[in-house]
Amino acid sequence: MSAPPSGPRESGPRDDGFVQAVRDAVDLVDLARDYTQVEKRGARYKGLCPFHKEKTPSFSIDPERGLYYCFGCGAGGDAIRFHMQLTGDDFPLALESLARRFGVPIPERRGDTSGVQEQSRVLEAAAEFFVRQLDRHAAPLEYLRRRQVPSEAYRALGVGYAPDAWRELLGALQGRFSEQLLESAGLVARSAKSGRPYDRFRHRLVFPIHSTSGRLVGFGGRTLGDDPAKYVNTAETDSFRKSQLLYNLHRARPKIRESGRVLLVEGYFDVLGAQLCGIDWVVASMGTALTEQQAKLLSRYAGEVILGYDGDRAGEEASRKALRILLRSGVAVRRARFPAGQDPDSLRLEEGPEAVRGYVDGAVDALELELARRGPETVADPRLRAAAAGELRELLEVVPDTVLRYSYGERAARHLGLPVEVFWRSRGASSAVRQGAAEPAEANVAPEARSSMEARILHLLLWLGRDALGARELPAADLFGDADCRELYRAFAAAVEADGMHGGDEQGPALDAALVQQGLPPASSAQGLLARLLAAPPEGVRDGEALTLLGTLAAKGALVRQRALQAELFAAQERGDADRVEQILAELAELRRRRHGARR
Ligand SMILES: [Zn+2]
């Protein structure tokens, strides 16, 4: 596995005595029971491996030596490594977490002020501060009352409040922690103009965010005012990497393992809402698109993921992106289809907990939904049918389990009215494309990488304004492949039309943010993207960066189009559609000509 081997070398300033004390104190069998069921067999314990999917146990623990080994996937090591592999904690964190759990006193760090322990302490202190403020202010309590969240529910999540001021948290913690520490913990930002520090969270409900092992690593804040950034998070730090965290996983983990399934929602309030409906096996991806790491994390605890994204177009799109990633990690995927415009929490308020539970229990197999989206009109039209077969085959190819993959393929083929060999043979088209494409590596750019480039461009445009593009005309919106990026870019371009949006810099966004915001559907995920991009200025901006990135994006767009054409070419040749073949070849030649032209 990718985690580095554990050893005293990595223990930093700690002495080896502490490492040994932790090794001696940890009960590996007890620890393993958090993740899988193990039974005693002779001198050893055996069970299903928590590191890979299996039906017959090949995971084995030697309790005397404190070592584990899996005969199926080769994972192995001691308790510290076990913890690191399953939680993503690094060595020092794993030590601390295990020390706490098995009652080993943790020595003070020597002279290391930016250490993990200090960061934990400052975050804990901030969490206490936020909770205290919640009880002292009417606005957050009134807000929670309006959303019908009983106090036990928000207290259980440790929800707090950041007051509507610039230096409240700073003032409260300054005596105990250095400004530098507050800044490195992601709680405090610094004014670009004056260099003065200020609270990152202001007039927000604050949700503490924990790592899988239960360590406080950051906060998410929801505005209670009219800040266009509806949600703001702690700045990314070494321990706070949003793409590797799932909100509420550390709390829900036992329930998820017990039930074998997990409800995946978008945000903090969806988690709260689901819990209030009696669904305590719920986690949130915190507004971002689901990442590979998050999917892997889920697949360790649950065999089935129920997608509970918002019942709107953005939620639909996010679900389909998540489906692809989840299938690859080997879990079954179902989708709760909330009514249009509803998320789990709004549905709870409007129709009550039973309704939410009903939608979740009635969640439909996500692949069946993908089939259903391709209705009779698809099957009737040869070209649509070929395209659908290609898309579905691509989606199913990544399912790791052979039997499952075959069964789904059979279903898909039947749905499209194709013999199953023909369905899988649409594979031929894609390998032909790979051979034909001039730059396969580039054409196969992961969608995530593409959309992060698109988001970077938008980040630059929003902060630097239209001037970031120099004299270049505004490009067409369909250059952006990611739906949210496209929507946000459209709103940006419209705002430029309306007021010019000149003269921004890294001190503050150029545009009238409200103008862009008005151009987006309310409560859409594009709004969330806008909020994230406005939360902090782009870092490390290079000269002409936006222009360069746009050029790259255009080139990639052409390659994607080329791939699609080549796939279609294959289908057109097979059915003997000479006219279409002609058209496709002409367009391919044009694309090639433009690409070579652009290089000169
Ligand atoms: Zn294994």
- Residue 309 Cα to ligand 1 midpoint, Å, equals 31
Domain assignments of the chain as residue spans, ordered by start: 8-101, 116-240, 262-370, 375-435, 437-600
- Report the pLDDT value the prediction gives residue 13, as an integer from 0 to 100: 47
- Cα separation, 588 vs 304, in Å, equals 42
- Residue 300 Cα to ligand 1 midpoint, Å, equals 11
Residue 447 confidence class, pLDDT cut points 50, 70, 90: low
* pLDDT tens, residue by residue, 12-61: 444 667 888 888 888 899 999 888 889 988 888 999 988 887 788 889 99
- The class (CATH top level) of 116-240 is alpha beta
- Residue 51 Cα to ligand 1 midpoint, Å, equals 5
- Residue 137 Cα to ligand 1 midpoint, Å, equals 51
Quote the CATH superfamily of domain 8-101.
Zinc finger, CHC2-typedomain (3.90.580.10)
- Residue 286 Cα to ligand 1 midpoint, Å, equals 30
- Residue 74 Cα to ligand 1 midpoint, Å, equals 6
- Report the pLDDT value the prediction gives residue 510, as an integer from 0 to 100: 55
- Residue 69 Cα to ligand 1 midpoint, Å, equals 8
- Residue 239 Cα to ligand 1 midpoint, Å, equals 27
Helix (H, G, I), strand (E, B) or coil at 284: strand
- Residue 55 Cα to ligand 1 midpoint, Å, equals 11
Task: Pull the structure tokens for residue 491.
Answer: 């709103």
Task: Pull the structure tokens for residue 277.
Answer: 């409906």
What residues contact 127, with CB distance under 8 A and at least 6 apart? 158, 160, 208, 216, 219
Helix (H, G, I), strand (E, B) or coil at 60: strand
- Cα separation, 493 vs 520, in Å, equals 12
- Residue 305 Cα to ligand 1 midpoint, Å, equals 21
- Residue 33 Cα to ligand 1 midpoint, Å, equals 15
- Residue 53 Cα to ligand 1 midpoint, Å, equals 7
- Report the pLDDT value the prediction gives residue 110, as an integer from 0 to 100: 40
* pLDDT tens, residue by residue, 502-517: 544 445 555 567 778 8
Average pLDDT over residues 239-246: 83
Phi and psi at residue 335, to the nearest 5°? -125, 130
Total Cβ atoms within 10 A of residue 297: 21
Return the CATH number of the domain spanning residue range 262-370. 3.40.1360.10
Fold of 437-600: DNAb Helicase; Chain A (1.10.860)
- Cα separation, 496 vs 472, in Å, equals 14
Asked if residue 438 has pLDDT above 70, the reply is no
What residues contact 137, with CB distance under 8 A and at least 6 apart? 161, 163
- Residue 80 Cα to ligand 1 midpoint, Å, equals 17
